[in-house]
Amino acid sequence: MSEKKVALISGANKGIGFETARQLGKLGYTVLLGSRDALKGEVAARQLRHEGLDARVVKLDVNWQADIDAAVKCIERDFGKLDVLVNNAGVMLEKGWTQNTTSETKMENLRATFEANVFAVVGLTTALLPLLQKAAAARIVNVSSILGSVSLQATPGSPTYGTKLFAYNASKAALNMFTIHLAHELRKTKIKVNSAHPGWVKTDLGGSSAPMSAAEGAKTEVQLATLPEDGPTGGFFHLGEAIAW
C-alpha cells in the first residue's frame, strides 16, 4: 500500500480540476488526473511532472462503467487505497443566464445533465468507496455550485435568484443531497464528505466574464480535500464559508 496520499480528480486535464491536481500535488499528494481523453490527460500530467509533481493520468469518462471499473482496478493495483476523491467533472448544457426557460427544457438535456452531474458521481464514488475506506482518513469532495442552493434560488434578492438554469441547478441540488446522505452514512467513520462551490471561475463552463481564475476556484476543493480530523462533514462550502442548502 502506498505511503503517500493519493488523490483522484475527475475532469482534471484542464480548468479547475487541473488546478486542483496541481495544488494537491504541491502538498505532496500523488495526483491521478481523470480525463475522458487519455492523450489530453497525459499532456496535463506531463506538465505537472515537469513542475516536479507526482502526476499520472487515468482514462476516465465518468459516464462509462468500463472506465470506472478500470480505474478502480488500476488504483487498487498501484496504491491499494485512495485518500481523496474529488468529483470535479460536470456539464452545463443550458445557454443564457438571465432568462428563465424552464418550460422549454429539453428532456434529453435534463437526462444528460443528471447523468453527468449526479448519476456518474454516485457511480464513481460508490465504486471507489472500498478503496477510500482503506485509507487512514479519506476525503470526498463533490463539486457543486451555489446555483444548487434551493434556499437562495427561492429567495428574492439573493445573488442567484435570477439565474434559473433548471437542469443544471436541479442537478447540483441533487448532488448536494447525495453529499448529505453519504456523509450521514459514513458519520461514524473517519471519511468526510462535503460539497464545494468553487465560485464563478474562468473556464469553458464559467465563461470569460467570470471574475475568478481556475487556480482561485480550486482553493475550496483543496481545502475540503485536506480537512483535518476535526473538520466538518456533510456541509456545503466556499472558501471556508458555509452556504445555505
CB 58 within 8 A of CB 74: yes
Active site residue 172: yes
Catalytic pick among 168, 192, 202, 219: 168
In 87-205, which ranges are continuous DSSP H helix? 107-114, 120-133, 150-153, 166-185
Catalytic residue among 5, 81, 164, 172: 172
Q: Please give the grid coordinates belonging to residue 55.
A: 502526476
Q: Listing from the earlier edge strand, what are the strands of the sheet with 84-87?
A: 55-59, 30-35, 6-9, 84-87, 139-143, 192-196, 236-238, 241-242
Asked whether the CA dihedral 69, 109, 218, 12 is positive or negative, the reply is positive
Active site residues: 168, 172
